[in-house]
Amino acid sequence: MKTPDATALATAIARGESTAQQVMADTLARIDRLNPTLNAVCRVDAELGQRQAAAVDARVAACRTDAERAALLQSQPFLGVPLLLKDLGGGATDLPSTMGSRFAGRVRGPLGRGLHWPVDSNLVARYRAAGFVLFGRSTSPEMGISPSTEAVANGGPTRNPANPAHSAGGSSGGAAAAVSSGMVAIAHANDGAGSIRIPASCCGLIGLKPSRGLMPAGPVVGESWGGLVSDHVLSTTVRDSAAALLATAGADPGAPYAAPGSLADLFQVLAKAHEAPRLRIALCDTTFEGEAIHPEVAQAMRAFAGRLERMGHRVTVARPPIGTVELIRPLVRVVACGTALAVDRLIAQHGEPGPDELEPTTRSGIELGHRTTAAEYLECLSQVQAVARRLVPFFEQHDLLLTGVLAQPPAPIGRWAMSNPDFMDYRLGPEGLWRYSPYAPLANATGGASISLPAGVATGGLPIGAMLTGQLGDDAMLLRLAAELEAA
């Protein structure tokens, strides 16, 4: 039986049709059954989950009328819903994180191995306020720098529920595999170069990368990777993605960016999506340079475009005026510097990593970050930011850009294992990642909103995701279109 979405679970708990403790017990049982095969969950604190679930049940029991239960659900839209935090980010005082790394995993504290957070992040505080039950962490590749989750620290690859010989994506691959397999209904994720949208595509889920500045990042950090990273969730329904955004969005105190756009009346907007003005959508079914991509992906994008046209939207074939390598090269340098910074902070507190405590690709990325001068780093940021300026005329002609999330179906396990000792070759070599994932970094560079939606199935039962990308503040527009597609 298909797992209900998070909204349905919360509603059942609020109405007394189920209990948070029973939902938590069912979740733990599914993880026990499925995780040995998929390797999607790297930390579970069952006692913590059941303790929070019991507190939820006590709040529901204290409600004397249906109106009081409805009010409780309105104030906590994810009442009693189990939530996995990604093992990278999502700072929670009661759930240490290893960042997918043996080096970070060497740290020991009162709650076990991993980095211990001194305070909850503002995002986690909002998750708790929304009623989520936080009980564990999902796997990620080391430091989040791969589109495939195959961390040695977690015992090997996280597998795709649709085809375990293939990747679940990355860097939020564990979150995607956990949701797609039904372990949980929804999971935290984050995206610095496609890390929400790539796993969503690989596992047939909905994955929105929110606009820069829309999601809180503090109080421990101001931004990640020069503002490239945004947090959100992976879900099976548009309404869950929208509800999670409403519950958590908005700049936090001291944020370096203002929260763009407005989410006012979002659910009313979604309910009337079919009445909204028709959109001008640019279809790019090649690379940005016009080269052919995998035929099954290209065909899925053309079929997806046909669905949009039948709904009345105007689709034209057009490529944005940007080169893939031109876009990704400076972005990769920024990521390398961010990775070096994260590891340097660990070294300052816990000493140098051992020879086998960092994967070869990670170690090379750190070395690249250390070789990058301050002036070179700022030049890379300038080049990344210039992309948004250059795309202004394109987005004056088109409301959204439609591409695949990936240029190929989900990769076989091992294809993107982080054993390559050359970080730049891993990313930009002749057989590098840029050919596999040429599109997703665009929205991280511009700060615009971007969403992955299920679009088709390739040979071997592998999901293919379509990606719709807009500008800064287009989050509601993307969710509106996603809701219209979902309803159709």
Residues 6+ apart with CB under 8 A from 387: 322, 327, 442, 445, 446
Digit-coded pLDDT (tens) for 210-251:
999 999 999 988 899 999 999 999 999 999 999 999 999 999
DSSP string computed for 406-443: SSSSPPBTTTT-TT-S-HHHHHHSTTSHHHHSSSTHHH
Query: What's the angle, vertex CA 49, arms to CA 47 and CA 52, rounded to 5?
Result: 105
DSSP state string for 183-233: S-SEEEEEESSSTTHHHHHHHT-EEEEPPTTTS--TTT-S-SGGGT-EEEE
Per-position DSSP letters for 139-152, written without gaps between them: ---GGG--SS---G
- Cis bond upstream, residue 201 (ω within 30): no
| Cβ(131)–Cβ(10) below 8 Å | yes
Place of tokens 């050359």: 422
pLDDT of 20 reads 98
Instruction: Write 334-337 long-range contacts (CB < 8 A, 24+).
Output: 334/225, 334/226, 334/228, 334/377, 334/380, 334/381, 334/384, 335/145, 335/192, 335/193, 335/225, 335/228, 335/365, 336/365, 336/366, 336/368, 336/369, 336/372, 336/423, 337/226, 337/369, 337/372, 337/377, 337/380
Cα separation, 454 vs 204, in Å, equals 5
Q: Cα angle vertex 439, ends 438, 441, to 5°?
A: 95
- Any idea of the CA torsion for 12, 25, 245, 73, to the nearest 10 degrees? 30
* The pair of three-digit structure tokens given for residue 411, joined into one six-digit string: 């990769």
Give mean pLDDT, residues 12-24: 98
Alpha-carbon distance of 14 to 424, in angstroms, equals 51
CB distance 189 to 181 below 8 Å: no
Q: Provide the pLDDT confidence category of residue 2 given band limits of 50, 70 and 90.
A: low
User: pLDDT tens digits for 307-349?
Assistant: 999 999 999 999 999 999 999 999 999 999 999 999 999 999 9
pLDDT (0 to 100) of residue 264: 87
CA distance 72 to 69: 5
Mean per-residue pLDDT of the chain: 97
Q: Which two tokens stand for residue 311?
A: 């709904």
Judged against a pLDDT cut of 60, whether residue 180 lies above it is answered with yes
Is the model's pLDDT at 3 over the cut of 80? no
431, 363 contact by CB (below 8 A) = no
Mean pLDDT, residues 43-70 taken together: 98
Confidence of residue 47 (pLDDT cuts 50, 70, 90): very high
pLDDT, one tens digit per residue, over 257-313 is 999 988 989 999 999 999 999 999 999 999 999 999 999 999 999 999 999 999 999
Beta carbons of 269 and 263 less than 8 angstroms apart: no
Q: At residue 1, does pLDDT exceed 50?
A: no
Per-residue tokens: 221? 């950090």
- 129-162 residues labelled b (16+ CB within 10 A) or e (exposed): ebbbbbbbbbbbbbbbbbbbbbbbbbeebbbbbb
Sheet holding 314-317, edge to edge: 41-44, 133-138, 82-86, 186-191, 230-235, 206-209, 450-458, 462-469, 400-404, 280-283, 314-317
The span from the CA of 452 to the CA of 197, in Å, is 5
Amino acid at position 86, single letter: K
Strand partners, 452: 207, 467
Q: CA 200 to CA 437: how far, in whole Å?
A: 13
74 pLDDT more than 50: yes
Nearest to 283 by CA among 307, 306, 308, 316: 316
Amino acid at 405: V
Structure-derived torsion over alpha carbons of residues 45, 356, 167, 158, reported in degrees to the nearest 10: -20
pLDDT of the residue at 262: 84
Helix axes 122-129 and 238-248, enclosed angle (nearest 10): 120
Q: How far is 128 from 55, CA to CA, in rounded Å? A: 12
Domain boundaries of the chain, sorted by first residue: 6-487
Whole-model pTM: value is 0.98
> Which residue, chain included where needed, has tokens 């992309």?
387
First-last CA distance in the chain = 23
- Name the CATH superfamily housing domain 6-487: Amidase signature (AS) domain (3.90.1300.10)
